[in-house]
Amino acid sequence: MCNYRKDSGNSEIKEMVPELIDWCRRQLASSGGDKAVIGISGGKDSTVVAALMAAAIGADSVYGFILPAGDQNDLETAQEICRHLQICYQVIDIAAIIAAFNSCLSAVSDSGIINQVSAQTDLNLPPRVRMALLYAISQSIPDSRVINTSNLSEDWIGYITLYGDSAGAFAPLGMLTSDEVIAVGHELGVPARYLLLPPADGLTGRSDEEVFGFSYAELNDYIRNGELVNQETKAQIDRLHRISRFKFLPLPMFRPPFAIKANDLANIYQQGDKQQ
């Protein structure tokens, strides 16, 4: 269940949406882009991001790519969403790419380096293949950028794939919980049928909440209020948050005893690795 309440912070969302649209427009421009490439899954997050970018730069500058790995239950929904938003879209089956990867992994397994391909590898491979393909497409569409579609709720507990759905030029929903994403979608005029489907990873056949062991309502309440009645759930969320932080930290770099005197425009190299 999405546990969305229409009376939950609706006035704040209404005021925020124009700012969010303008932010998306400015972020894209600051990256040197004027077109958006988005992986469309059929879920609310990619739908809302596509709607935001269409509002920011025009639907004719937004490209949606639906990338099923063989059969996908929400394939028709994903296409309906693209048609509703009037964005250019294409369906590309990545099953053959996954099969090619698995063939290579089998060769590694046969060599004895690994005993067998892990279940986690099977789960993370499709998102990474999708992102690699999105970037390959984007680099062939002049001045386009891949836009991240993750939300704060799933990011908070690390429910993303590193170098997969965690990637993108910027993340419009990265500071919004799942229920707030739904509210943004309503403000953008996205039909409720595309926003209120139970979130699922499309990989395990289970809903997100079945995978988590707790509800989005509990997770979102804890994120915004800092408290939960169920202390076991709080401890579980805290643990998932703690062990997944590496997915969001800048790449650690060893700091040698050599000065950098060039102008570090992004202030990256002057910071160095502060965890030594």
Q: Domains plus CATH for the chain?
A: 10-208 (3.40.50.620)
Distances (CA, A) of 162 to 60, 203, 234, 244: 30, 16, 24, 10
Is residue 184 within 8 Å of residue 13, measured between CB atoms?
Answer: yes
Average pLDDT of 51-80?
A: 95
pLDDT of 187 reads 98
- pTM for this one? 0.90
Average pLDDT of 118-137?
A: 96
pLDDT of 73 reads 79
> Tokens standing for 76?
């028709």
Identify the residue with better confidence: 275 or 242. 242
146: three-class secondary structure by DSSP = strand
> Tokens standing for 63?
């490209």
**Integer Cα distance of 19 and 41 in angstroms:** 25
Average pLDDT of 103-111?
A: 90
Highest mean predicted confidence (pLDDT) among 105-114, 196-205, 226-235: 226-235
Q: What is the largest CA-CA distance in the chain?
A: 60
pLDDT of 65 reads 99
pLDDT of 224 reads 98
Residues 6+ apart with CB under 8 A from 178: 2, 44, 151, 152, 153, 154, 199, 216, 219, 220
